[in-house]
Amino acid sequence: MKVVLDPVHGYIELDNLAQDLLSTPQMQRLRRVKQLGFSNLVYPGANHTRFEHSLGAMHLASVLTRSLDSIEEDRKIEVKAATLLHDVGHGPLSHVTENIIDKYTRRRHDDVKEILGKGEIKEVLSKHGISPGNLVKHIKGETSVGQILSSEIDVDRMDYLVRDAHYTGVAFGVVDYNRLINQMDFYEDRLVVNYGGLKAAESLLVSRFWMNTSVYYHHVTRISEAMCSKAVEYMIENKELDPLRLRQMDDIDLIAAMRNATGYAGELSRLLDARKLYKRALYVGLADTGKSVLRHRDRIRRVEKEIADMAGVEDEYVLVDIPKMPEMLEMRAMIKTDHKLIPLNEASHFVSILQEAHMDNWRMGVYSPKEHCEAVGKAARDYFDIKKSLKQFKLSDL
């Protein structure tokens, strides 16, 4: 048994299985994959990696399974291994490249069957008598014990919320995960939170709400991710980058490839390096756009071209960012009280209010170089039929 010192959880124990898995090149690659992509352009300390997060999630899974006598020892070992490996399918810069990899390869980051079923990881699992197929199901949350890793409230969320808050310095990441874990159990084959953990569950929802607002959907993060995604897609379509290879890259590989790219991708890479980002030509919420704007999500490139034509600028100077409808899956978590289950948002009036507030945080962005923002903004407002809001004056301005 060895231990490593983690800045979030303190000392984490590594048994022989964990040590063997961590020594594989597939896991070592995660040392070079940032957890939060370009968020360090906003929060300079946000340079932590998927490797650290994997260790932390494994630690929390171990703590939780130790208190659950209903789980067989073999299953506890599988859950521990699955949690350590759950992010091994992430591409470079984590979620920044997720949709592009999915578009060209039809694989998400939790589609790890191929990775676990061959090479060094397969050899380690075979050595310890563990079925890769079982781990794949656990990672996708398709088994009862897999809910520990992938469900409405799981160890994955607990770790990344606390860890991301720690490294960004944002003060909203206070999650009482020790209390939450202590109050989690299986009831009728479902992972639930006992009523005594209700306040701890609320703390997780509050943290998620504020982290979404301050970190995950910060406009600088969204703009830089949109620029990077556009560059990567340009490289793929111009045969400068193999999408199958993309998934195996780390951040260093991708950034080097972008810097060596020609044309538009190379230009975007230089802008990202210098933090000379596109600006917000339009940045509005659901109250301005209505839910009907979501129908454009499947035709972003066409929308960008049409707005560019209306503004009289080149197509590449318009980036449209329409996030999916906001949702907080944690609200569906079940609270156990008096031998019955009720959803978290029914057990807590506070959480039900938070659900509505979460919708208010959604923003659609249209981004462009500063010199084109006025023209692109006007064209985007006309395209989406958005009325220009009245300017609010301070008394001192009058």
pLDDT more than 70, % of the chain:
97
Q: What is the pTM of this model?
A: 0.93
The mean per-residue pLDDT over the stretch 248-256 comes to 98
Q: Does pLDDT of 393 surpass 80? A: no
Is 97 inside a domain boundary? yes
Is 304 inside a domain boundary? no
Is 344 inside a domain boundary? no
pLDDT digits (tens, 9 = 90+) for 372-381: 999 999 999 9
Is 333 inside a domain boundary? no
Band the pLDDT of 10: cuts 50, 70, 90.
very high
Give the pLDDT of residue 390.
46
Give the number of domains in the chain: 1
Give the pLDDT of residue 325.
85
Give the pLDDT of residue 173.
57
Q: Does pLDDT of 397 surpass 50? A: no
pLDDT digits (tens, 9 = 90+) for 83-129: 999 999 999 999 999 999 999 999 999 999 999 999 999 999 999 99
Structure token digits, residue 174: 């206070």
Is 22 inside a domain boundary? yes
Is 69 inside a domain boundary? yes
Is 362 inside a domain boundary? no
Q: Does pLDDT of 73 surpass 80? A: yes
Band the pLDDT of 326: cuts 50, 70, 90.
confident
Range of the domain at 22: 2-169
The mean per-residue pLDDT over the stretch 44-58 comes to 98
CATH number at residue 45: 1.10.3210.10
Is 159 inside a domain boundary? yes
